[in-house]
Chain A
């Protein structure tokens, strides 16, 4: 079967650092995506990992360990506007189809 797990909710303080974890068990692996989704809005693409290691993009970084079936999204210098849901998605094959986790709702407090 295909399974992607993320924590349902997290809370962090403005200016702090937060790490959102994602574990996956899929029939194959051809890349992992992170999306941000503000309430009532469309998901927007944040990052893509296919090789092990860290990808940094401004305040956001994403890490992948294929042997552990594990990824995390790291958000630094948190801002109030970072309050959103963060979706982890895996491409299990050589197509554009994605399997999404249920998402992690992050609340940033002053």
Chain B
């Protein structure tokens, strides 16, 4: 079983719809992240959470919101989807326990989202 699970894996929807992408992890990590990946632009951070009560905006948070329902669950919502939000979305986790700087992030398999 995957340590970081994203659902759905693929989604096609229409402009204006509300969409939720879900991420759950069995690694026991406190820190969770949402990224989007676009061709030529690399991974860009949308939101991140260092524990259940801590939510922070990343570099491209406009048009998105998140919810940290539990240590293991971190959801990303698009309240009213628009075509330029078509992208590959990744959830990631990391463990701050031994010093945050050298702990790698562990990624889920991604959600491919297309907005028509």
Contacts and interface: CB of A to CB of B under 8 A. Distances in A.
Interface of A: 8, 30-31, 33, 40-45, 48, 50, 87, 89, 91, 94-98, 100-103
B25 interface: no
Contacts of A8: 40
A91 B109 contact: no
24 contacts: A8-B40, A30-B101, A31-B101, A41-B109, A42-B4, A42-B90, A44-B107, A45-B105, A48-B104, A50-B101, A50-B102, A91-B100, A91-B101, A96-B31, A96-B48, A96-B94, A96-B105, A97-B45, A97-B48, A98-B45, A98-B105, A100-B35, A102-B41, A102-B42
Q: Is the interface of A mostly helix, strand, loop or mixed?
A: loop
Interface residues of B, number: 27
B71 to A, nearest CB: 15
A100 B108 contact: no
